[in-house]
Amino acid sequence: MANQYILLVDDEPNILKALSRELEFWTEERNITILTAPDSLKALEILKEKGSNTVLVISDLRMPQMKGSDFLQVVRDTYPHILAILLTGYSETNEIIKAVRAGIFSYILKPWDSEYLIAEIDKAYTTAMLKREHDALLKRMQEELKWAGEMQKALLRPVLPQSNTVEYRVSYRPVPQLYCGGDYYDVITLSSDRYLLLIGDVAGHGVRAAFVTGILKAIIYPEYVRAHLTKHITPTGFLSWLNDRMNFELRRTTGLLITFFAGILDVKTQYFVYANAGQCHPCILRGTSIAELPVSGSAIGYASNVMYAEQGVQLQSGDVITLYTDGLLEFTHEQQPVSLSPKDIFTGILYSSDYHRALLTRALELSKAKDFTDDVTILSARII
């Protein structure tokens, strides 16, 4: 472990000597080195070199050049891991308030009681070490989440089919700071003219939901699609199988639901047949008009042996089918839920190279939120 420091700041040399004597035994027990500074500016110079390993700062209030309250505010802003104790023989209310706002751990009057001084410093040190452990753990968790997010992106990222008759695009944004999430998406080629479009949303956020999307990726193509390529795959048959399969897979897990949409696009006939298990209704953009695909059914995992309704829609060249998860519609803004309608977002946005970005920007503008509060996925298919 790197050497640790405690910094004493006071413009009176006898106070620095007295404090150093008081803390000599306490610091030796913990292998802490005492540093001293006669004023705030010198203290800041010392912190430039040793600030990363400094645990505590004990500062006088009245000092030349810079008051202790101002100095401690700089310390808090520059070195947030350092805890501070204010030591003064004066009762200047305004300056003490400033020091409190600077986040001081304790306020001790001169002349100090030795036992109380050591007790307060010991509490501050213990708190500082717990904070460091917490920060280190949080950093490790962030690194693990980033790794999980990169793995999920690599796992879920579909190889979008290249075709002269349809253009596919996908955008995926997990909850900020969580890096991974519960949205599932894929485009699977069934034949030269038929494609299976999938989008789903596992309830919840983070690693738990991401783990379930990994299960979905691991079973959908190997267990169902590949086994049924020589047969007639239907959206209803697929969703019924997926519901039974995930009910078995998650039989020991409570309260976990998955919304899912499956559609088969036949580009030769320009016909789209689909079924829905509680997922947001996709939209079809035709010129400047927007139409929802309203069929829906119960979410995956809600009940066993579910038969899903199936419906189809005739398309034409230039139509854009847009699938999306509810993170595009649902927000928490200033601790209040905000729900948008698909028409709020889609109306007036024409298809272009920035189509997905325009939808995301419109959603943020309408919700007045700074960022999305749920995972967001957009999958679009444009008939050429």
Give the residue-averaged pLDDT of 33-52.
94
- Measured CA to CA in angstroms, residue 108 lies from 13, 180, 323, 325, 360 at distances of 18, 47, 62, 56, 53
- Residue 60 CA to residue 86 CA, distance in Å, equals 6
Evaluate whether 277 touches 203 at the Cβ level (below 8 Å): no
Beta carbons of 359 and 293 less than 8 angstroms apart:
no
Summarised one tens digit per residue, pLDDT across range 233-272 is: 999 999 999 999 998 887 766 668 899 999 999 999 999 9
CB atoms near residue 48 (< 10 Å): 10
Cβ atoms within 10 Å, residue 44: 18
Give the pairing type, strands 83-88 and 106-109: parallel
Q: Are 68 and 11 in contact (CB under 8 A)?
A: no
Evaluate whether 185 touches 199 at the Cβ level (below 8 Å). Answer: yes
**Residue 66 token pair:** 């810079």
Non-local CB neighbours of 137 within 8 Å, separated by 6+ positions: none
Ordered by where they begin, the domains of the chain are 4-140 (3.40.50.2300), 158-383 (3.60.40.10)
Q: DSSP string spanning 157-191?
A: ---PPP-SSEEEEEEEEPPTTT---SEEEEEEE-S
**What pTM was computed for the model?**
0.68
| pLDDT confidence of residue 255 | 66
Report the C-alpha gap between 57 and 10 in whole angstroms. Answer: 11
Contacts of 100 (CB under 8 A, 6+ apart): 107
For residues 112 and 227, give the distance between their C-alpha atoms in angstroms, rounded to a whole number: 80
Mean pLDDT within 280-297:
94
**How would DSSP label each residue in 277-328?**
EBPPPPEEEETTEEEE-----PPBTSSSSPPPP-EEEE--TT-EEEEE-GGG
Supply the pLDDT for residue 254.
64
Q: Taking 80 as the threshold, does the pLDDT of residue 144 lie above it?
A: no
Residues contacting residue 51 through CB under 8 Å, at least 6 positions apart: 78, 79, 82
Q: Is 253 helix (H, G, I), strand (E, B) or coil?
A: coil
Q: Which residues pair with 313 in a beta bridge?
A: 272
Is pLDDT at 67 greater than 80 in this prediction?
Answer: yes
What is residue 90's predicted lDDT score, i.e. its pLDDT?
A: 65
Q: How far apart are CA 58 and CA 8, in angstroms?
A: 5
Instruction: Tell me how far apart the alpha carbons of residues 57 and 128 are, in angstroms, rounded to a whole number.
Output: 11
Amino acid identity, residue 190? L
- What pLDDT shows up at residue 70? 87
Q: What average pLDDT does range 22-45 have in this prediction? A: 94
354 CB-near residues (< 8 Å, 6+ apart): none
Query: At 79, which amino acid appears?
Result: Y
Does 21 have pLDDT greater than 60? yes
- Cis peptide, bond prior to residue 342, ω within 30 of zero: no
